Amino acid sequence: MSKIDIIIVGAGYAGITAARELIRAGKTVKVLEARDRVGGRVHTQQFDDFYLDMGGTWVGPSQDRIYALLKEFGIETFKTYDEGKSTMLMDGKLKTYKGLIPPLPIPVLLSLDMAIKKISKLSKNVDLSEPWNTPNAKYWDSMTLQTWMDKQMAFSKAKSMFTIASEAIWATHPNEVSMLHAMFYTKSGRDFDTLMNVKNGAQEERILGGAQSLANKIIATFPPETIQYNAPVKAITQDGDGVEVIGKDFSYKAKKVVVALPPTLAGRIDYQPLMPANRDQLLQRIPMGSVWKCYAIYDKPFWRENGLNGLSASDNGFVSVTFDNSPKDGSLGIMMGFVLANQAKDFSLLSPEDRKEAVLEQFTKFYGEKASKPIFYIDKSWAEEEFTRGCYAGVMPTGAWTSLGKHLREPVGNIHWAGTETSDVWNGYIEGAIRSGERVAKEILGK
Q: Which residues bind ligand FAD (CB under 6 A)?
A: 9-15, 32-35, 40-42, 55-58, 232-233, 260-262, 265, 291, 293, 382, 387-388, 391-393, 419-420, 428-431, 433
| Closer residue to ligand FAD in complex, CB, 148/417 | 417
Q: CB of 13: closest distance to ligand FAD in angstroms?
A: 4
Nearer to ligand FAD, 157 or 206 (CB): 206
Phi, psi (deg, nearest 5) at residue 313: -140, 145
Beta bridge partners of 215: none
Closest separation between CB of residue 410 and ligand FAD, Å? 18
Contact 177, 165 (CB under 8 A): no
Query: Which residues make Cβ contacts (< 8 Å) with residue 213, sequence separation at least 6?
Result: 44, 75, 207
Residue with Cβ nearer ligand FAD (21 or 431): 431
- Residues 234 and 245: their CA atoms lie apart, in Å, by 8
Q: Cβ 250 to ligand FAD, closest distance in Å?
A: 11
The conformational region for residue 236 under phi > 0 = left, psi -120 to 50 = alpha, else beta, is beta
Nearer to ligand FAD, 157 or 435 (CB): 435
The full length of the chain comes to 447
Q: Which is nearer to ligand FAD, 52 or 108 (CB)?
A: 52
Shortest Å, Cβ 397 to ligand FAD: 19
Contacts of 326 (CB under 8 A, 6+ apart): 81, 301, 310, 332, 333, 334
- Check: CB of residue 418 under 8 Å from CB of residue 15: yes
Cβ–Cβ < 8 Å for 77, 55 = no
238 Cβ contact partners less than 8 Å away, ≥ 6 residues apart: 244, 257, 271, 272, 273, 413, 414, 415
Asked whether the beta carbons of 319 and 338 are under 8 A apart, the reply is yes
How large is the angle between the packed helices 145-152 and 106-123, nearest 10 degrees? 130
Which H or E element spans position 119? helix 106-123
Give 33 or 424: the residue with its C-beta nearer to ligand FAD: 33
Three-state secondary-structure class, residue 162:
helix
Quote the least distance from Cβ 427 to ligand FAD, whole Å.
8
Question: How near is the Cβ of 291 to ligand FAD at its closest, in Å?
Answer: 5
* Complex with ligand FAD: residue 232 or 276, whichever CB lies closer: 232
55 or 122, CB closer to ligand FAD?
55
Task: Quote the least distance from Cβ 268 to ligand FAD, whole Å.
Answer: 7
Question: By C-beta, is 55 or 333 nearer to ligand FAD?
Answer: 55
Residue 227 CB, shortest distance to ligand FAD, in Å, is: 10
Q: How far is the CB of 235 from ligand FAD (least distance, A)?
A: 10
Asked whether the beta carbons of 164 and 321 are under 8 A apart, the reply is yes
Instruction: Give min distance, CB of 320 to ligand FAD, in A.
Output: 14
Is 179:145 a contact under the CB 8 Å cutoff? yes
Strands, E, within 225-384: which ranges?
A: 227-228, 233-239, 242-247, 250-254, 256-259, 270-272, 291-298, 308-314, 319-324, 333-340, 376-381
CB nearer to ligand FAD: pick between 11 and 88: 11
- Asked if residue 118 lies in contact with residue 375, where contact means CB atoms within 8 angstroms, the answer is no
